[in-house]
Amino acid sequence: MDALAAARASRARLTEDLTAYVELETPSDDPEALTRGLAWARAYVTTHLGEPDGVDVTAGAPYGDTAVLRYAASNDGTGTIGVLCHYDTVWPLGTLHEWPVSIDGDRFTGPGAFDMKAGLVQFVHAVRIAREHGMRVPALTIVLNGDEEVGSPASRPVIEDAVRGLDAVLVFEASADGAVKTARKGVGLFSVTTTGREAHAGLDPDRGISAIDEIARAVLQLHGAADRAAGTSVNVGILSGGSRMNVTAGHAEAQIDVRVESESERERIDAVLGGLRAEHPDATLTVSGGWNRPIMPRSDSTAALFTEASNAADELGFSLTEISVGGASDGNFAAALGIPVLDGLGAVGDGAHARTEWVSIDGMVERTALAAALLHRLGQR
């Protein structure tokens, strides 16, 4: 039985497992729910793949803990592969009551199914299938983290330590219209804060110094720094300030999301942020934050990894495409260490972070077979 036939035979199990996983809500900001989620994910991996040869769990408070599970190679496989699967979602506790799991033909919907619970289910069944059918499987280092959706503040060093020195890293985040991701932009998260002086806006307008006036100038400079042709976006997504309509604003803040695809652009944006100044001599302007995720370029080694996956797909009877995206993932951390990374190996579907989120069950079957075949190729290098 080949990998695709085995995956087709597992269709019902894939659907049942994804249902159970999605019905266990794991919002990034609920520690108790995340504790339950990690316990489920660890038990799920162990049930299908056996007890790991090594386990490390690192506390992630106030978010979810990070578990690293290590498995020796199977069926005389060679090489070392890292696998990244975050278990947190953007959906708050209770979403499931309003939006329960639903299956309509090939379409599976539910909070977190696409991003990225289907990915773990597909990966686990891929390893099971590969092992059961004598396919070579390399040594696996599986990382389960519960803070990816908030930028991986606690899990980043754990991920970097876990994957350092491995041959490649596979990320089971959702695909982009079926394409795997071979490049991602770097992400910067910044805040600009201005202070002025409060005063009665009607009785004493000349005494006040408007922090909103200062932040407005900064916002225009920041949005003007975007360069779509160079792949750079700058978005002031949250703007706040002032206390009342009849009070000159003494405080204001802008929260900014920046995406870049080159180091030169990252340096340019750093210079723009560093050059922001308050216009009024008695006002202040400060910048805080930093680069949340490094750039994930399409390196030669990542291109070679994609070729392996594409050839595996061809042998299974379907084609595989690649794409560069503006969104970031934990794969960016691995790429920054010089490791080849293939991202987007998870669900085929659409609607990440939206109530239109859905997963193709046929896509789950196909991608499970692809992952099994890719692991076999990587396990016989």
Residues 335 and 346 in one domain: yes
Percentage with pLDDT > 90 across the chain: 99
CATH classification at residue 366: 3.40.630.10
Percentage with pLDDT > 70 across the chain: 100
The whole-angstrom separation of Cα 314 and Cα 96 is 38
Domain limit, last residue, from 237, 258, 293 = 293
Tell me the catalytic residues: 88, 148
Q: Strand, coil or helix: what is 174?
A: coil
Tell me which residue range forms the domain holding 19: 3-184+296-378
Residues 29 and 83 in one domain: yes
Domain count, the chain: 2
pLDDT of residue 1: 56
For 91-149, the pLDDT digits (tens) are 999 999 999 999 999 999 999 999 999 999 999 999 999 999 999 999 999 999 999 99
For 277-321, the pLDDT digits (tens) are 999 999 999 999 999 999 999 999 999 999 999 999 999 999 999
The answer to whether the CB of 339 falls within 8 A of the CB of 166 is yes
The whole-angstrom separation of Cα 138 and Cα 81 is 6
Q: What is the DSSP string of 54-68?
A: EEEEE--TTS--EEE
Look at the alpha carbons of 3, 119, 185, 353 in this order and tell me if their dihedral is positive or negative.
Answer: positive
For 335-375, the pLDDT digits (tens) are 999 999 999 999 999 999 999 999 999 999 999 999 999 99
Query: pTM for the whole thing?
Result: 0.92
